Chain A
Amino acid sequence: MGHTQDGTEVTVELEVNGRQRTRTVAARTLLVHFLRDSLGLTGTHVGCDTSQCGACTVELDGVTVKSCTVLAAQASGSSVRTIEGVAGGEDGSGLDRVQQAFWDEHGLQCGFCTPGMVMAVRQLLRDNPSPTEDEVRHGLDGNLCRCTGYQNIVAAALRAAETPAGEVR
């Protein structure tokens, strides 16, 4: 990671969805804006911008974080996966099991929270492959949905848990 002379710009080098990306941006650039504005990956949403809603959730070195509360500079040198890097999975085709479960259970209405929800459910299932309904509700504590009342999102998480990882249906 390099710095310009006054240091208010930084060169950010990231692996995003398996591809190495380098951009020089203002040091105060948030990871979510780096992804959306510098790289054009607009699947990651800016919702509340205050670390509450989870619409900006991405994986940073394999762990979900809220990208509105991480500097792009902090993430430099790391690996990031966004919602754009979820579909296709290992074999390069189709939705992953969490996305498919959201489709099957109609786990979205307006869809704004969905990218963050999918990332959060993936983390939940990595940590706890067979969660109870209560564990799903607690596990999604950091992600808000203003449409669904969460019912179908929880159903989708439970359905995804029943689908072997790597298997679409």
Chain B
Amino acid sequence: MYTAEFAYVRPDDLDGVYSALDEYADDVKVIAGGQSLLPMMKLRLTTPGVLVDLAGAQDLHGQWCIQDGVRLGALTTYRQLQHSPQTLSLLPGLADTLAVIGDPPVRALGTIGGAVAHGDPTADLPAMLLALEAVVHLGSARGTRSLPLQDFITGLFSTDLADDEVVIAVDIPQPPSGAGAAYEKFEQPASHLALCGVAAVLNLDGHMVTRARLAMTGVAAAPRRLGVVEDALTGTSVSDSALDEVAALAVEGVEPLEDLHAPALYRLQLLRVATRQALGVAVSRAGAGWAA
């Protein structure tokens, strides 16, 4: 299957990327790993006249320790992250999430920038990034700006990214010491896309939950935080029955998607179950330290 025709440019640096986006304005897409974009282009779901390859922009490659966590260049691949023990040791939950994205060759090319910019409602990584309170950095010829990922994701394949902007980096703060994290996913077996995925990052003081961050993907138009569950958990003393009760709240306010793989009610049930499972695993890891 061929994509529609397009012109291909690979600028040597970030300024070149910005210029190309300016020049070709309404008829341009940027390509990073291409693992989502190229399949869409083959199906002619998108037919940009110009494709701007980010690969030449060295500023988008790399991982840096920052004051409260890690900054990942937008072109950091899932595979690179899986082979970055220092980053994984700072960010609980990341390794579990990376391991269930696509398959090994897809992870070799797929990037964190693509994961957030694509706005895919079934993407795994955004759920964990939301639970870790990631911040997205955007750049354009007009300058740079930053916003929390939860404000950046606006809907179904929709983000706050302007036509002339690119995602340049994602900051992931390290959660408070002793955090336990988990990512639980029910997938469509052929595509590996999430029918439902839930990320949980918890801190405990003894049996008491002191901090809870949860997010889901695959169920609704966009990945999003599960604020009702977070509020109910905080201050709760952990027990099987308490976690059962809290997990049942996960569906509150969620407007589920429906497709031939999973009816809406089934997706909601998966959301309850995945939330309960993620809470159980995160609790078991919290306080006990964890290994990447």
* Chain A residues near B (Cβ < 8 Å): 1, 3, 6-8, 10, 26-28, 30, 49-52, 54, 57, 60, 63-66, 69-71, 73-74, 76, 120, 123-124, 139, 141-143
Contacts and interface: CB of A to CB of B under 8 A. Distances in A.
B79 A71 contact: no
Interface stretch (B4-12, B116-124, B129-137, B276-284): B4-12
Contacts of A66: 105-106
Nearest to B104: A142
A58 B51 CA distance: 23
A54 B105 CA distance: 8
Interface string B1-20: 11111111110000000000
A65 B42 CA distance: 18
Majority SS of interface residues in chain B?
Answer: mixed
B154 interface: no
A64 B35 CA distance: 14
B42 A73 contact: no
B35 to A, nearest CB: 6
Interface of B: 1-10, 31, 34-35, 38-39, 42, 50-51, 53, 55, 79, 102-106, 108-109, 190-192
B33 to A, nearest CB: 9
A123 B31 contact: no
B105 A27 contact: no
5 contacts: A8-B6, A57-B105, A69-B35, A74-B31, A74-B34
Contacts of B192: 141
A4 to B, nearest CB: 9
Given A54-B105, A64-B105, A71-B38, A7 B7 contact: yes
A28 to B, nearest CB: 5
A139 B105 CA distance: 10
Contacts of A64: 104-105, 108
